[in-house]
Amino acid sequence: MLMKLLIKKERKKFLEDFGREVVVQKPEKHLVKDFSKDFHTQFGVIKKEFFTEADGAKVKIGNQEYNLLTPSFIDFYLGIERSAQIIPLKDVGRIVSETGINKESCIIDAGSGSGGMALFLAAIAKEVKTYDIKEENIAIVRRNITYLGLKNITAEVKNIYESQNIQDKDMDVFTLDVPEPWKAVDTADKVLKIGGFLVCYSPCVPPLSDFLEEIKKRDNFNHLRTIEIIERDWEFDGRKIRPESQQIGHSGFISFVRKI
């Protein structure tokens, strides 16, 4: 996929009232898909000839400066089509690190939504299969798969609660983001290899509690831990160094279970 990324640097201005420079505009970025015509920004026009320059090239529009880069996977990922809130990257990263997902991992993701979890994992793992009961969700996931150019992920309409309809075997990781996760434990038992990880993601406590009660009934599953990740962004502006005023707090609880 031939694209370029424009990143506008932070712009600072000296304000007499403060007696120092302050950031008056945060960085922004644009994915440029069509190099055959000029690109319009709110500050002016970038001529199409600029996109033939090498990475790191700079162009000024008024007092704004843009840098030209080749986009990476994360730049494309942040632009996927969404139908609902996806699992935040802070939580996805912890799931990867806790389960050791790598280039040899085979994964099932249940409750696809827009495919946020499955798509990110597909950039790391050997194979990802994602299932959802809603055809409209699977349609979005498939469009996102095409957009990202991923070849190792499939998306199908299936009910993960109906274990008889899931034929996968010897999977390394099984991620759940569904309303009633306890109903998927039989499926997890069927598809996971010994030593495989079952990960339940839930924004609320009651479904998670029911899931863990079901796990406790099974001799071949071991609850490892349940966590939540709180992330704080900080602002650095001269001597003003502090957490940002508005933060995203709770997103979801993550429970890690292992088949033994």
What DSSP state is assigned to residue 234? E
**27: pLDDT confidence band, cut at 50, 70 and 90?**
low
pLDDT in tens, 144-186: 999 999 999 999 999 999 999 999 999 999 999 999 999 999 9
**53: pLDDT confidence band, cut at 50, 70 and 90?**
confident
Average pLDDT, the chain: 88
Q: Which amino acid is at 130?
A: T
What stretches of 123-231 show up as alpha helix (H) in DSSP?
135-148, 185-191, 205-216
Backbone angles phi, psi at 125, to 5 degrees: -85, 175
Query: What pLDDT score was predicted for residue 2?
Result: 54
Using CA atoms of 182, 184, 186, 188 in order, give the dihedral in degrees to the nearest 10.
Answer: -120
Class of domain 78-259: alpha beta
Residue % of the chain over a pLDDT of 70: 90
Q: Which amino acid is at 29?
A: K
Query: What pLDDT score was predicted for residue 243?
Result: 83
Which has the higher per-residue pLDDT, 101 or 64?
101
Residue 205 pLDDT > 90, yes or no? yes
Residue % of the chain over a pLDDT of 90: 60
Query: What pLDDT score was predicted for residue 33?
Result: 80
Which has the higher per-residue pLDDT, 105 or 56?
105
Q: 4-71 has which CATH code?
A: 3.10.330
Query: What pLDDT score was predicted for residue 24?
Result: 41
**Domain coordinates in residue numbering, the chain:** 4-71, 78-259
- Each residue of 40-70: b (16+ CB within 10 Å) or e? eeeeeebeeebbeeeeeeebeeeebebbbee
Which has the higher per-residue pLDDT, 164 or 16?
164
Query: What pLDDT score was predicted for residue 41?
Result: 83
**84: pLDDT confidence band, cut at 50, 70 and 90?**
confident
